[in-house]
Amino acid sequence: MREDNGPLEETSVSSGITGSNDRVYGRPTTVGVLIVNWNSGPLLIRCLDALRRQSFGPTRVLVVDNASRDGSEQAALERDGVELLTMTANLGFAAANNIGVAHLGNCEWIALLNPDAFPEPGWLAALVGGVGAAPLVASVASRQVLADDPDTLDGTGDLYTVAGLAWRRHHGQPARNRGLERGEVFGPCGAAGLYRRDVFLETGGFDESYFCYFEDVDLAFRLRLKGYRCLYIPEAVVHHVGSALTGFRSDFAVFHGQRNMVWTFVKDMPGPLLLQYLPHHLLMNLASIGVLAARGQLRTALRAKWAALLGVPRMLRARRGIHRERRVTSAQLRSAMIRGLRSLGIGRKEP
């Protein structure tokens, strides 16, 4: 989950990887839907009602509740076929999803769905139908439109730049003429994405130290490093509120997004690319601090960057294990990223 917005950009990249993972999956027969809830109120009710209308019914629906205090978890108990796991504390989006994926042991694929995301009836059928369309697809991205303005896109999959920025493709752009073709994107937005469960677990799931924000980008990066791909399916439509609980551009969202952005670059970027694009990354961070200062969030920006620096040693330790299992070349990975001035966010379209 992230608050960044981006320009029109299509990506199409082939990993060039062959071997044990180079196989085409057929249509899944078991698909679990996983919703992490925290004080979502009526949003969760609306989300669960939308799931009941799916033309392709999920095998299981699981709500992991992060110690809500508003009673919203009761919505799960009141609906037939919905399972509930209740946490004793708010563990964060990343950890709660990891717990849920582990719990859904009999499902081949897991669809993550935020409680403020309301899928159209054909959403899950479209996602599942995209599986097997290309080799090495381990995740599938939805077409997200703004819940209060369905003529405007919330995003059509995630993009990543060589400088370490990420944003939702086509965010804020007209829905009528953007993102209408299937294609490959860097990764799915975690608000409404489908993942192969075995690969999710093999890759280590979400990094729980992130708590929330950018954890889906980090996972997409690690899947890329292993040679897996993400397919965008325009027929899989979700109406998304976005930041309904944490607040758009709130200090909480800014802190976690800005900190985790640095951690992802340090941990996941292959050595040759890290050295080549480190100046871009540093410049982008300085520019981000300037933008946030102009919004009155300088203190939050500095706290985030300081926390990021304190976490760098741990990220460097983590990267050793990640890159031991890398199956793509630096050139192959770079071809999946945005380069040039746009990698720094220059020319990005703001809503």
Domains annotated for the chain, with CATH where assigned, are 1-351 (3.90.550.10)
Residue 319: pLDDT over 80: yes
* 3-class secondary structure, 151: strand
- Cβ(34)–Cβ(58) under 8 Å? no
- Cβ(278)–Cβ(270) under 8 Å? no
- Cβ(188)–Cβ(17) under 8 Å? no
pLDDT digits (tens, 9 = 90+) for 219-252: 999 999 999 999 999 999 999 997 645 556 799 9
* Terminal C-alpha separation, the chain: 17
CB count in 10 Å sphere of residue 102 = 12
- Degrees (nearest 5) of the Cα angle 232, 66, 128? 25
pLDDT digits (tens, 9 = 90+) for 29-87: 799 999 999 999 999 999 999 999 999 999 999 999 999 999 999 888 889 999 999 99
**Closest-CA residue to 93 (of 244, 225, 230):** 244
Mean pLDDT score of the chain? 89
At residue 73, φ and ψ (nearest 5 deg) are -65, -20
pLDDT of residue 6: 33
Residue 18, CA atoms < 13 Å, CB-side half-sphere? 0
At residue 277, φ and ψ (nearest 5 deg) are -105, 10
State the pTM of this model.
0.90
How much is the average pLDDT of 152-174?
Answer: 95
pLDDT digits (tens, 9 = 90+) for 94-136: 999 999 999 999 999 999 999 999 999 999 999 998 887 667 9
CA distances from 330 to 128, 224, 315 (A): 31, 11, 19
DSSP string, 9-62: --B-------STT-------S-EEEEEEESS-THHHHHHHHHHHT-SS--SEEE
Helix (H) or strand (E) holding 105: none
Question: Which residue did the predictor score with more confidence, 306 or 6?
Answer: 306
d(CA 194, CA 295): 35
